[in-house]
Amino acid sequence: MSARDPSDLVPGETSTGSKRSDVLFGAEPGPRRMTRSAGCRVWDDEGREYVDLGMALGAVALGYAHPTVTAAAERAVRDGGVGTLPPVLELHLAERLLPWVPGGEAVRFLKTGAEAVAAAVRLARVVTGRERVLTCGYHGWLDWCQVTAGVPEVVRGLRRPMRFNDRADLAAAVAEGAAPAAIVLEPVVEGPPDPGWLRAARDAATQVGAVLIFDEIKTGIRFGPGGAAARYGVHPDLVVLGKGLGNGFPIAAVVGPRAVLAAATQTWISSTLATETVALAAAEAVLEVCESTEALAHLRAAGDRLFAGCQTLARRWPGLVTGIGGVPEFSFLRFADDACSARVAAAAAARGVLIRRGPYNFPSAAHAPALIDETLDRLAAAFAEVAC
C-alpha cells in the first residue's frame, strides 16, 4: 500500500466519516484499517484480530459473512447481478418485506438509508403539496436535513429540527410557520421514546394532514417484525428501513400504503443500481434467517448481556462513565469527556476489542454469551488501566 497520508488519497481519511481514526480513537493510537471480517470479528492490516462491537455502524445484525446471506449473494453474482429489465427478485423481496411493516402495502428500494429517507420526504411533499419538514434524529448527509457548508440557506429553512421526547417542542414546531409536509422521527434517539411523545406526533400529523415518517434505519429488522412501530404501539404513514436489512450489503427501503408510495410515479426517485440483485438477494436471505431461526432472539440476548455489563462498568468507574444510553439492541457508554473515551477505546483495542466512543455499539446474533462476558472482562481491564 502507498505510504502517502490517507487524506491525500481520500480527503478526510476515509469515505465513511464515522470510521475516521479521530472518531474512533481521538488522538490515541489504535488500528486504522481492516482487511477482512467474519462473525463478530475484524482483522486489521497488521493481522491483529478484534471483537467488533460496532458491527459496521449497525449495518450487520446477523454477523459478518453470514453463510446463508453470503450464499444468496454469491448466487446473484453468478447470475449476473444486474441487467436492463427489472428483476423478479425485486417482487420477491417486496412480498417478503411488507409483513414486517405495520400497514405496509408497497415498497420502493434504494441503496442507502440517507437516500431512502430523502425519498420518503419527497413522497410526502408530493402527496401534501407542501415543503416544510419537521425532524428529530439523524437522517443522513443529504441537503434536505443538514446544516453544514454547501447547503443553501433556502434549503435549510425548509426544515425545523425538534427535541426528542419533548411534546411541547413538537407542538410548537407544528404550530409555527406553514403546515408541514412531513414529521420525520427516529423512534429511538440515545434512549427509548416516551410513547406519549410518539402518539402526540401521530395525532399532530393526522390533525394537520402531514405524513408521519419513522426513520427505522437502526431499529428496523433489529427490533424484529413490526420494528419500533409495533414495539411502541404507534404506526406511522411511512417506514424507512436500512442497515440490518442487507446485513452489510447496500440496500434500503421505503414502505407504506399504496396511496402514498404511488406518488413515486409522479416524481423522480430512481438510481441505476437500485435493483441490482446482489443486495436484493442478500436482503431476502436476511429475512429468511430472521424468520426461520432464533437469530434475533440471540441478538437481543447479547444486547441485554452487554447492556447489563456496561451498567456494571458505569457503576464501578463513575469517574469515567456517567451512564448508559440507547436500548439493548444498540447502546453506548456515556463517557465523562472526549479524552477519557479516547483512552478507553485505545486501551480496549489493545486488548482486542473495538468499542464505539458514542452512539452506538451494536451487538449481533454472532456475539455468543460467553464472548460478551469475555469482552466485558477486557473492557474492565481497559477501564482499570485508564483509571490508574
- pLDDT tens string 135-153: 999 999 999 999 999 999 9
Instruction: State the residue range of the domain holding 109.
Output: 67-292
The pLDDT score that the predictor gives to residue 377 is 98
Q: Among residues 272, 292, 312, which one ends one of the domains? A: 292
Distance of CA 226 to the CA centre of its chain: 16
Whether 170 and 256 share a structural domain: yes
Whether 153 and 285 share a structural domain: yes
To the nearest whole number, what is the mean pLDDT of the chain? 97
Whether 91 and 240 share a structural domain: yes
CATH number at residue 90: 3.40.640.10
Q: Which of 219, 214, 259, 241 is CA-nearest to residue 121?
A: 214
According to DSSP, the residues that pair with 364 across neighbouring strands are none
Mean pLDDT of the region 213-229: 98
The pLDDT score that the predictor gives to residue 3 is 64
Mean pLDDT of the region 198-218: 98
Per-residue pLDDT band for 2 (boundaries 50, 70, 90) equals: low
Query: Strand, helix or coil at 137?
Result: coil
**Considering the domain boundaries, does residue 212 fall inside one?**
yes
Mean pLDDT of the region 68-72: 98
Tally of domains in the chain = 2
Whether 20 and 117 share a structural domain: no
Name, in order, each residue with C-beta under 8 angstroms of 190's C-beta and a sequence gap of 6 or more. Answer: 164, 325, 326, 332, 359
Whether 360 and 221 share a structural domain: no
Mean pLDDT of the region 110-127: 98
Q: Among residues 275, 292, 309, which one ends one of the domains? A: 292
**Considering the domain boundaries, does residue 158 fall inside one?**
yes
Whether 318 and 244 share a structural domain: no
**Buried/exposed code over 148-185 (b: 16+ C-beta within 10 A; e: otherwise):** eeebeeeeeebbbebebbebebbeebbeeeeebbbbbb
Q: Which three cell numbers stand for residue 333?
A: 457508554
**Considering the domain boundaries, does residue 74 fall inside one?**
yes
pLDDT above 60 for 290: yes
**Considering the domain boundaries, does residue 162 fall inside one?**
yes
pLDDT above 90 for 388: no
Sheet of 252-256, strands arranged across: 106-110, 252-256, 238-241, 211-216, 182-185, 133-136, 159-161
Whether 176 and 208 share a structural domain: yes
Whether 274 and 341 share a structural domain: no
The pLDDT score that the predictor gives to residue 1 is 54
Whether 110 and 242 share a structural domain: yes
**Considering the domain boundaries, does residue 25 fall inside one?**
yes
Residues above pLDDT 90, as percent of the chain: 97
Whether 144 and 257 share a structural domain: yes
- Decide: 351 and 380 in contact? Cβ < 8 Å: no
Whether 142 and 44 share a structural domain: no
pLDDT above 90 for 155: yes
Per-residue pLDDT band for 47 (boundaries 50, 70, 90) equals: very high
**Considering the domain boundaries, does residue 1 fall inside one?**
no
Integer Cα distance of 242 and 249 in angstroms? 10
**Considering the domain boundaries, does residue 379 fall inside one?**
yes
CATH number at residue 338: 3.90.1150.10
Whether 31 and 73 share a structural domain: no
The pLDDT score that the predictor gives to residue 5 is 82
